[in-house]
Structures are given as C-alpha cells and as structure tokens.
Structure 1
Amino acid sequence: MLSAEVFEIAGRRVWIGVFWQEKIQGITFSLDREQFERNVERLSGFLRRRGVDLDLAREGSNYPALVRDVIIGKVDNADVLDELSFEGLTPFEGRVYEWLTKNVKRGDIITYGNLAKALGTSPRAIGGAMRRNPYPIVVPCHRVVAKDGIGYYTPRLDEKVFLLKIEGVEGWTSSKLTS
C-alpha cells in the first residue's frame, strides 16, 4: 500500500509517502508536489528491482505521521527501526543503515569517511548506500556529509538542507556544496 499525506513543517509543505505492507517498505518525501510524484515512481521502481512485492494501492495509515514526527523530533529515529521491513537490502546496506540510525542522533552529523571508518569500509561504498537508502528521514542519510561541505543528496539537495536546518545543523547548510 501507499500512504501519502502533506504536512506543514517549519513553514513548508512537506509531502510524505510510505510504502507498506506489514512493515514500512520504503519512504519518500519532497518539498514539491510534482517532485513527490516523481519520487514515488523512482522509489517504487527501485523497490521492485530489488524484489520487494509492492501494492501500489493508496490506503491511509499512521506511517506518514510517524515520519513527520521523526522530522520534527517528536520520535527518535532509532525508535522506528523495528517498523522497517529491510526487504530488498543487501546485508551491507542493512548494517550501514542500522549503525547510522542508532549512532548519529538528531542535530549531529558524520562524514562519509568517518562512517566508513566506523564500519570498516570505504567512503565510496557509504555514498552508494546513502544514495540507495529506501528509508530517508528514518535512516538519516541527510546527516552524512562530505569532509569539505554538505555533500549531495538524492534526489534534491534543498531537501537535505531543509532537514539539517530543522535539526539545528546550520553550519553545514551554508557550505560551498549547497549551491
């Protein structure tokens, strides 16, 4: 199923969509309705290529509100890990996402290099895992930054900036890589 809702957060409209069956199969969000629809298509295609059995019927659930509550800091990211299905992930991706979610808290950041060092891998492998993250916001890939700036974000950098600002991570949101 797909549950989708729009919320007002920090003066912005935020579209949140959650694919789910028994647990959350994937999350997408956007600050723009048209981009949100593209994100839904991109995520559903990605999940299907990964062998996740999706039902594209739209049905309401509490999941979009749960994701909103993570954004605004009402719910800790790690408290939502048990709600994620982890379907279609490689063991490496699962290990990265779990470590990141449990160890990099709201208001903090970590570089690709330091995350790689913590997990005994390469920054490039971490970057790939972040790009493929089907659970943005809950698995806080927006908190992973480059050593010399904010880094990149899929699909749009302005969404990473928005999330970091809400979390009070102002210094990284004005870095040279945001333009």
Structure 2
Amino acid sequence: MLSVEHFRISGRGVWIAVLWEEKIQGITFSLEGEGLENNLERLTGFLRRRGVGMDLAIETSRYPSVVRDVILGRVENSEVLSMLSFGGVTQFERRVYEWLTKNVKRGSVITYGDLANVLGTSPRAIGGAMKRNPYPIVVPCHRVVARDGIGYYTPRLEEKVFLLGIEGVEVWTSSRRT
C-alpha cells in the first residue's frame, strides 16, 4: 500500500510517502511537493530491483505521521526500527542502518569515515549504503556528513540541510561543501 500525507514543518510544506504492507517497505519525502513523484519512482524502482513486491494502491495509514513525528523529535528514530521490513536490504546495509539509527541521535552527526571505522569498512561503502537507504528520516542518513562539509544527499542537498536545521545542527547546515 501507499500512504501519502502533507504536513507543515518549520514553515515548509513536507510531503511524506510511505510504502508498506505489514511493515514499512520504503519512505520518501519532498519539500513543497517538488519531486515527490520522481522520488517515489526512484524508491519503487530500487525496491523492485531488490525483489520487493509492492501494492501501490493508496490507503491511509499512521506511517506518514510516524515519520513526521521522527522529524519533529516526538519519536526517537530507534523506536521505529521495528516497523521497518528491511526487505531488499543487504546484511551489510541493515547493519549500517541499525547501528546508525541506534547510535547517532537527533542533533548530532557522524562522518562517513568515522562510521566506516566503527563498522570496519570504507567510507565509500558507507556512502553507497546511505545513497541506497530506503528509509530516509527514520534511518537518519542525513546525519552522516563529510569530514570537511555537509556531504551529499539523495535526492537533493536542500532536504539534508532542512532536516539537520530542524535538529539544530547549525554548524553543518551552514557548510554546503560537498
């Protein structure tokens, strides 16, 4: 199923789309609705390539509100881990996503290199896992930054700046170097 809702957060319109069956299969979002359709196509294409079947029928669920509550800090990211299906995610990606979600809390960041050191891998592997994250916001890939700047973000850097700004991570939102 697909649930899509619009919220006002910090003066911005935020569209949140959640694919789900028994658990969340994927999340995407957009500021002001810009690019939501493309983001959803990217997410469904990724999940299909990974062998995840999905029904795209529109149905209301609580999931978009849960994601909104994570953005607002009403719910801890780690509290939502049990709602994720992890379908189509490799063992490595799941290990990265779970460690990140449990250990890098709201209002803080970690570099690609530091996360790689903790997990015994390379910064490039971490970057790839972040790019493929089907659960943005809940799995806080926006909290992973480059050592000398904010780093990249899929689909747009503006979303990373927005999320870090809401979390009060001002030093990184003023550095847009990638």
Q: Please state which band the TM-score falls in when normalised by the shorter chain.
A: over 0.9
Letter in 2 for 1:55: D
Unaligned runs of 5+ in 2: none
Quick one: percent identity of the two aligned structures? 75
**d(CA) in 2 for partners of 1:177, 1:103:** 25
Q: After superposition, where does 1:63-82 map in structure 2 within 5 Å? A: 63-82=63-82
Could you tell me how far 1:32 is from its partner in structure 2? 3.2
Query: May I ask how many residue pairs the two structures share in their alignment?
Result: 178
Q: After superposition, where does 1:44-63 map in structure 2 within 5 Å? A: 44-63=44-63
- How big is each residue's C-alpha offset from its partner over 1:83-123, in whole Å with a ceiling of 9 and x where there is no partner? 00000010000000000000000000000000000000000
- How big is each residue's C-alpha offset from its partner over 1:132-167, in whole Å with a ceiling of 9 and x where there is no partner? 000000000000000000000000000000000000
Could you tell me how far 1:34 is from its partner in structure 2? 3.7
Moved over 3 A (4+): none
Could you tell me how far 1:176 is from its partner in structure 2? 4.2
Could you tell me how far 1:177 is from its partner in structure 2? 1.2
Unaligned runs of 5+ in 1: none
SS at 1:33 equivalent:
coil
TM-score, scaled to structure 2: 0.99
- How big is each residue's C-alpha offset from its partner over 1:6-59, in whole Å with a ceiling of 9 and x where there is no partner? 000000000000000000000000103240111111101110110001101111
**d(CA) in 2 for partners of 1:96, 1:136:** 13
Note if contact 2:12-2:32 (Cα within 8 Å) is conserved in structure 1. Answer: no
Q: After superposition, where does 1:108-127 map in structure 2 within 5 Å? A: 108-127=108-127
State the Cα RMSD in Å.
0.8
